[in-house]
C-alpha cells in the first residue's frame, strides 16, 4: 500500500502551480499525480516520496490535504495489460473507486494506482492471486 495525498484546490489559474511549488520548495518529489475538477474546485491526488512531510507542509501553507491508502501494481506494457490486471480485481471482487497511472523511473514500466474499498483486505486477496503490490513510492 501507498499513502496518497489528496489536496482540494480552488479552480482558478495558478492554484495548481502554487501547490506544486510548496512541495518543490520543500524538496518533495511527486511520483504520480491525478487531477479531477468541477466548476469551482479540483482534487489533486498525489503519490510523493515523503507523504507525511508533504501533508504537513501543505497544511502549513493553508491547503486542505488528507491522506488515504491506495494500492499500486506494475502493469505490463503490452496490449491488454490493464485488462489482465483488472481481471484479477474482478476475480477477487475488488471494486475500483478510481485509478490513475505512473511511469517507472526508467520509463520502461508502468504502474496503476487504485483506490478501492477495504484496502488491506483487497491487497491481501490480490497478493493471493500472485500480484505484487508496490509499497515504495520511489519505484514509481
> Looking at the structure, do residues 75 and 29 belong to the same domain, yes or no?
no
- Asked if residue 81 and residue 63 are part of one domain, the reply reads no
Domain finish residue from 68, 97, 121: 68
- Domain end (from 20, 43, 68): 68
State which H helix or E strand residue 33 sits in. Answer: strand 30-37
Most confident segment among 42-46, 82-86, 99-103: 42-46
pLDDT tens column, 69-86: 999 998 877 788 889 889
Same domain (yes/no): 48, 12 = yes
In this structure, the answer to whether residues 16 and 42 fall within a common structural domain is: yes
The pLDDT-based confidence of 26 (bands split at 50, 70, 90) is: very high
Pick the closest to residue 110 from 78, 83, 87 (CA basis). 78
pLDDT for position 106: 66
Task: Supply the range of the domain harboring residue 96.
Answer: 70-139
Provide the CATH number for the domain around residue 126: 3.30.70.260
User: pLDDT higher for 97 or 109?
Assistant: 97
**Number of domains the chain contains:** 2
Amino acid at each position: 500500500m501507498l499513502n496518497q495525498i489528496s489536496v482540494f484546490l480552488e479552480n482558478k489559474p495558478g492554484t495548481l502551480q502554487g501547490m506544486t511549488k510548496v512541495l518543490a520548495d520543500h524538496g518533495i518529489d511527486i511520483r504520480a499525480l491525478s487531477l479531477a475538477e468541477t466548476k469551482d474546485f479540483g482534487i489533486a491526488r498525489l503519490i510523493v516520496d515523503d507523504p507525511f512531510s508533504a501533508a504537513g507542509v501543505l497544511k502549513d501553507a493553508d491547503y486542505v490535504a488528507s491522506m488515504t491508502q491506495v494500492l499500486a501494481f506494475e502493469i505490463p506494457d503490452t496490449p491488454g495489460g490493464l485488462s489482465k490486471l483488472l481481471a484479477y480485481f474482478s476475480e477477487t471482487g475488488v471494486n475500483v473507486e478510481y485509478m490513475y497511472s505512473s511511469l517507472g523511473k526508467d520509463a520502461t514500466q508502468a504502474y496503476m494506482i487504485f483506490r478501492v474499498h477495504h484496502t488491506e483486505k483487497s491487497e491481501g486477496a490480490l497478493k493471493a492471486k500472485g500480484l505484487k503490490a508496490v509499497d515504495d513510492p520511489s519505484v514509481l
